């Protein structure tokens, strides 16, 4: 644990502590109901839940596989970006996954695919949305890294693995919506984490400098003009 970057290490610890508390239920405390993500019209919904739900997990398998993915991929991203940038990315992916799940619930209730009475009972917990965002970022930054999937002895490029996961989640989510399967997994939340992760990566790559330049012009500081002015200045040796 000491060799891990700061944010990765703290994420692992926070998730583990939250899981232990939710499993023990000290003083009858129900963390899942208090901090898990409810539908936004439910009486149990609170404004902090789109953030806190990503630190809770249903059982040991749930937290093990999510934290194993964090352990494998998060240190690389944190060392590549730095602590602040990685934490921002992780949280945005988790929040985006929560928004995606709320929109899916809204669509299902509106289409009466789920009876409105169940609006008080639906609940989502887990870091999977943020984890899928991490997986997307790894495939984005290191697309040609060869990886192995358990029980498949063929190396797969990281970008291909990301595409495979996205397609699986899409079809699994559609299957759950039409009643083909009932695995109780928030597949569209996973896709939401990937979509918001892609938006953040696109912004950092193409839009960040433009936004900074725009605000500089609003403040009356034209960085491009200043650069052009100094580029026209040529040092001359004294006569």
Residue 40 structural domain = 6-216
Contacts of 34 (CB under 8 A, 6+ apart): 46
Is 237 part of a structural domain of the chain?
A: no
pTM: 0.82
The predicted-structure confidence for 148-196, as pLDDT tens digits, reads as follows: 776 677 888 888 888 888 888 877 777 666 554 455 678 888 999 999 9
Is 76 part of a structural domain of the chain?
A: yes
Confidence of residue 146 (pLDDT cuts 50, 70, 90): confident
Instruction: Calculate ∠ Cα 134-193-48, nearest 5°.
Output: 110
What average pLDDT is seen over the chain? 83
Give the pLDDT score at 177: 61
Is 120 part of a structural domain of the chain?
A: yes
Burial classification of residue 111, based on how many CB atoms lie within 10 Å of its CB (0-12 exposed, 13-18 middle, 19 or more buried): exposed
Give the pLDDT score at 121: 84
- What percent of the chain stands above pLDDT 70? 85
Is 229 part of a structural domain of the chain?
A: no
Say which DSSP state 149 is in: E
Confidence of residue 49 (pLDDT cuts 50, 70, 90): very high
Number of domains composing the chain: 1
Is 118 part of a structural domain of the chain?
A: yes
Segment (H or E) for 157? strand 152-157
Is 232 part of a structural domain of the chain?
A: no
Is 221 part of a structural domain of the chain?
A: no
CATH code, 58: 1.20.1540.10
Beta partners for 146? 157
Is 83 part of a structural domain of the chain?
A: yes
- Pairwise CA distance, residues 55 & 78, whole Å: 19
Q: Is 124 helix (H, G, I), strand (E, B) or coil?
A: strand
């Amino acid at each position: 644990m000491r060799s891990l970057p700061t944010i990765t290490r703290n994420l692992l610890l926070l998730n583990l502590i939250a899981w232990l508390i939710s499993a023990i239920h000290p003083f009858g405390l129900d963390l899942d109901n208090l901090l898990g993500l409810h539908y936004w019209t439910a009486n149990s919904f609170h404004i902090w839940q789109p953030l806190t739900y990503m630190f809770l997990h249903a059982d040991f398998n749930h937290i093990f596989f999510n934290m194993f993915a964090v352990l494998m991929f998060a240190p690389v991203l944190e060392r590549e970006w730095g602590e602040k940038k990685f934490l921002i990315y992780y949280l945005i992916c988790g929040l985006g996954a929560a928004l995606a799940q709320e929109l899916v619930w809204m669509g299902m209730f509106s289409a009466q695919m789920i009876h409105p009475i169940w609006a008080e009972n639906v609940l989502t917990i887990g870091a999977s949305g943020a984890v899928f965002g991490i997986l997307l970022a790894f495939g984005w930054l290191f697309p040609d890294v060869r990886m192995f999937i358990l029980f498949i002895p063929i190396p797969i490029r990281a970008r291909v693995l990301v595409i495979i996961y996205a397609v699986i989640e899409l079809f699994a989510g559609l299957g759950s919506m039409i009643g083909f399967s009932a695995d109780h997994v928030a597949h569209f939340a996973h896709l939401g984490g990937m979509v918001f992760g892609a938006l953040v990566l696109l912004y950092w790559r193409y839009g960040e400098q433009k936004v900074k330049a725009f605000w500089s012009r609003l403040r009356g500081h034209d960085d491009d003009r200043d650069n052009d002015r100094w580029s026209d200045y040529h040092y001359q040796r004294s006569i």
